[in-house]
Homo-oligomer: A and B are copies of this chain.
C-alpha cells in the first residue's frame, strides 16, 4: 500500500509545510523551495501527499487551491470534515479543526464529503482593525 518514496524534493516540500501555520498554494510552495525541483514535480508530490493522507487539498471561494498538513493522519478513519477559514484581508487559509457544521439534508441525497469554508477577517487582521 505504502509505496511512495522519500525523495529530496518531497522532504523539502514537507519542511515547507512544517514551517507554515497556514495552508499553502502551489505557487507559495514553489517560491519557498527556491528551485529545489521543477514546477511539475511539486504538483506530483502534492498529489502523492494527498493520496497518502499526509496533506489535504482545500478549494477556496475565490477559486484558489491550497494545501495543508493533516494533523489527524494517525486516526484509523481519515476524514476531512473540518472547516476552513479564508481571510479576506491577508488571504491566509487556516484549518478550523474544531468547527464541524451540523445540517439537515433533503431525502434522496447520499453525502460522501463536505466542504465548509468561512471567509471574513482572521484574528490577526481583526485586531489590527483595518
Contact = CB atoms under 8 A, between A and B. Distances in A.
A119 B112 contact: yes
Contacts of A22: none
Contacts of A101: 101-103, 116
Given A59-B60, A59-B63, A102-B102, A118 B108 contact: no
B113 A114 contact: no
A35 interface: no
Given A99-B103, A103-B83, A106-B98, A120 B116 contact: no
What is the interface residue range for chain A against chain B? Answer: 35 or more
A111 B123 CA distance: 11
A116 B96 contact: no
A122 interface: yes
Given A99-B103, A105-B118, A111-B118, 19 more contacts: A59-B59, A59-B60, A59-B62, A61-B113, A85-B109, A96-B106, A98-B106, A99-B104, A99-B105, A101-B101, A102-B102, A108-B126, A109-B122, A109-B126, A110-B120, A114-B119, A115-B117, A115-B119, A116-B116
